[in-house]
Structure 1
Amino acid sequence: MRIKRTTSTEAPDINLIPLIDVLLVIVIFLVVSTTFMQPSQLEVDLPGTRSAQEDARPPEALRIRVGRDGNYALGAQGVLTETQLRTELSKVLSAKPASEERRAIVEADAAATHQSVVMVMDMLASLGVAKVSIATVGGKSP
Structure 2
Amino acid sequence: MRIKRIAPSEAPDINLIPLIDVLLVIVIFLVVSTTFMQPSQLEVDLPGTQSAKEDTAPTEALRIRIGRDGNYAFGSLGVLNETQLRRELTKAMATNKDGQERRAVVEADAAATHQSVVLVMDMLASLGVARVSIATAGGKAP
TM-score, normalization: structure 1? 0.62
CA distance in 2, matches of 1:47, 1:79: 31
Q: Is the 8 A contact 2:67 2:108 kept in 1?
A: yes
Tell me the secondary structure at the aligned position of residue 105 of structure 1. Answer: strand
Which amino acid letter does the alignment assign opposite residue 127 of structure 1? Answer: L
What are the superposed Cα offsets for residues 3-41 of structure 1, whole Å, 9 maximum, x if unpaired?
Answer: xxxxxxxxxxxxxxxxxxxxxxxxxxxxxxxxxxxxxxx
* Distance of aligned partners of 1:118 and 1:94 in 2 relative to their CA distance in 1, 3 Å threshold: same
The percent identity for this pair of structures is 67
- Shift of residue 141 of structure 1? 2.1
Contiguous gaps of at least 5 residues in structure 2: 1-48
Count residues with an aligned counterpart.
94
Q: RMSD value over aligned CA atoms? A: 1.7
Question: Residue 48 of structure 1 aligns with which residue?
Answer: 52
Which amino acid letter does the alignment assign opposite residue 69 of structure 2? Answer: D
- Shift of residue 58 of structure 1? 2.2
CA distance in 2, matches of 1:111, 1:58: 26
Contiguous gaps of at least 5 residues in structure 1: 1-44
CA distance in 1, matches of 2:97, 2:50: 34
Question: Residue 140 of structure 1 aligns with which residue?
Answer: 140
Q: Which has the higher contact order (CA 8 A, sep 6+)?
A: 2
Question: Residue 93 of structure 1 aligns with which residue?
Answer: 93
Q: Is the 8 A contact 1:49 1:136 kept in 2?
A: no
CA distance in 1, matches of 2:120, 2:82: 9
CA distance in 1, matches of 2:134, 2:51: 10
Tell me the secondary structure at the aligned position of residue 69 of structure 2. Answer: coil
TM-score, normalization: structure 2? 0.62
CA distance in 2, matches of 1:82, 1:47: 32
Which amino acid letter does the alignment assign opposite residue 62 of structure 2? Answer: L
